[in-house]
Amino acid sequence: MSLPLLDIRGLAVTIPTRDGEQAAVSNVDFTIDRGEVVGLVGESGSGKSLSMLAVMGLLPRHLHVSGSIRFDGVEICGAPERQMRSLRGRRIAMVFQDPMTALNPVKTIGAQISEMIRLHNPKLGRAEVKERALALLESVAIPAPERRFDQYPHEFSGGMRQRVVIAIAIANDPELLIADEPTTALDVTIQAQIMEIFARLRAERGMAVVLITHDLGLVAGLADRMSVLYAGRVAERGPVGPVFTAPRHPYTAGLLAAVPSIDDVAERLYAIPGTPPSLGARPPGCAFAPRCDFAVPLCRMSEPALLRFGSAVVACHRAEELSLGDLPRKEA
């Protein structure tokens, strides 16, 4: 296999607090190939957004990032701002969760898209820039782009704004698009439209997409592979099919069983007891052990290593022996 487009090894992000440095992300490995869609799944605080902001070089300065982040073979972890600036928006782009705050309210949509095009192509003429901006609006299915070009963000609905944000992100045909909860703030029917745009971008432009989400349904629909993060570490990683049908980590299995199904009615849902540990309150051993139905004394003592099982990689002491097909529907 050729070099992966993005290759993250042993990524750690620590946050200084009153009680010393706390690891919000530790030892995260992550790869994505060209044209691939990888889902990054986890609950709030699991470190999924932090890891990707580290890739973009967008973390606040006081956070400490270590490990290796290689983009197209070049190390970018700790790269100087000048180097990052030439990558961001040109080769790697990001779409954020909230389209209401991602746009500048006092500039027209057209000006904001044109700005992005001009930034990385300073020699283009005014007419060419506008032509490309209009083509972009059209590629994200905004009707009447000519009229929309001169409008302001407040004249757009939430779904339309998210399309504009995507249009800006793909303005320079990036090789990698990081989408951080791109549809969480949107309605289901609008979500379906946005997911369709992602699928098309990947098919037409061979764009790789990291889809950060807590919605397993979206991952199932679009992704080839997925990584499940828990408390800043990878719990399980593998191709989407096997992970969904035969999860090996109790947390993955729990997440899958906790989601109610639209086409089958279970009397009770599986509820994972407790809540994820907060920063700095990470239990010793396996971070999931206090909430795990299958924990044994070993789990509370030593941190499980990521080991390969078939096509997936799992961090669980009992991954080999457990059968997680049918979790008990028990009391929370």
Partner 1 sequence: MTNAVAAAPGPLLDVADLHVAFPVRRGIVFARQVGAISAVAGVSLHVHPGETLSVVGESGCGKSTLARAIMGLIKPTSGHIRLRSAELAVLSPAAMRPHRRTIQLVFQNPYACLNPRMTALENIAEPLRMLPLSRAERRERALRAMQQVQLLPEQADRYPFAFSGGQRQRIGIARALVVEPDIIILDEPVSALDVSVQAGVLNLLKDIQQRTGIAYIFIAHNLAVIRHMSDRVAVMYLGRIVETAARDDLYRSPAHPYTQALLSAAPIPDPVREQARQRIVLTGDVPNPADRPSGCGFRTRCFRASALCAVEDPPARELAPGHTVCCHHPS
Among 78, 206, 241, 325, binds partner 1 (CB under 8 A): 241
Convert residues 303-332 into a mask of x (bound to partner 1 by CB under 8 A) and - (unbound).
----------------------------xx
Instruction: Quote the least distance from Cβ 275 to partner 1, whole Å.
Output: 5
CB under 8 Å to 203, separation ≥6 — which residues?
A: none
Is 144 an interacting residue with respect to partner 1 (CB under 8 A)? no
The tokens of 100 are what?
């209401």
Convert residues 44-63 into a mask of x (bound to partner 1 by CB under 8 A) and - (unbound).
x-------------------
* Closer residue to partner 1 (CB): 248 or 291: 291
**Quick one: which segment of 50-58, 70-78, 99-107, 260-268 binds partner 1 (CB under 8 A)?**
260-268
Task: List, as one string, the DSSP characters of 147-176.
Answer: HHTT--GGGS-HHHHHHHHHHHHTTT--SE
Q: Which of 72, 31, 74, 66 is nearest to 50 (CA)?
A: 66
Instruction: Quote the least distance from Cβ 160 to partner 1, whole Å.
Output: 7
Instruction: Quote the least distance from Cβ 260 to partner 1, whole Å.
Output: 4
Count of C-beta atoms within a 10 Å radius of residue 37: 23
* Closer residue to partner 1 (CB): 71 or 288: 288
- Give me the numbers of helices (H) and strands (E) for the chain, helices first please: 12, 12
**Quick one: which segment of 78-86, 89-97, 154-162, 170-178 binds partner 1 (CB under 8 A)?**
154-162
Environment class of residue 281 by beta-carbon count within 10 Å: exposed (0-12), middle (13-18) or buried (19+)?
exposed
* Closer residue to partner 1 (CB): 115 or 215: 215
DSSP state letter for 88: B
The answer to whether the beta carbons of residues 232 and 250 sit under 8 Å apart is no
The answer to whether the beta carbons of residues 306 and 29 sit under 8 Å apart is yes
Is 255 an interacting residue with respect to partner 1 (CB under 8 A)? yes
Among 1, 127, 262, 328, binds partner 1 (CB under 8 A): 262
Task: List, as one string, the DSSP characters of 225-273.
Answer: EEEEEETTEEEEEEEHHHHHHS--SHHHHHHHHHSPPSS---SS-----
Convert residues 195-214 into a mask of x (bound to partner 1 by CB under 8 A) and - (unbound).
xx-----------------x
Among 19, 81, 204, 263, binds partner 1 (CB under 8 A): 263
Instruction: Quote the least distance from Cβ 34 to partner 1, whole Å.
Output: 20
Is 187 an interacting residue with respect to partner 1 (CB under 8 A)? yes
Q: Which of 6, 9, 51 is nearest to 31 (CA)?
A: 6
Residues 198-209 as b/e (b if ≥16 CB within 10 A, e otherwise) read beebbeeeebbb
Is 286 an interacting residue with respect to partner 1 (CB under 8 A)? no
Is 191 an interacting residue with respect to partner 1 (CB under 8 A)? yes
Among 188, 204, 297, 328, binds partner 1 (CB under 8 A): 188
Count of C-beta atoms within a 10 Å radius of residue 75: 11
Using CB under 8 A as the binding rule, the residues of this chain from 9 to 38 that contact partner 1 are: none
Is 106 an interacting residue with respect to partner 1 (CB under 8 A)? no
Residues 52-67 as b/e (b if ≥16 CB within 10 A, e otherwise) read bbbbbbebeeebebeb
The answer to whether the beta carbons of residues 136 and 110 sit under 8 Å apart is no
Residues that bind partner 1 (CB under 8 A): 43-44, 143, 157-160, 187-193, 195-196, 214-221, 223, 240-241, 244, 254-256, 258-263, 265-266, 268-273, 275-276, 291, 331-332
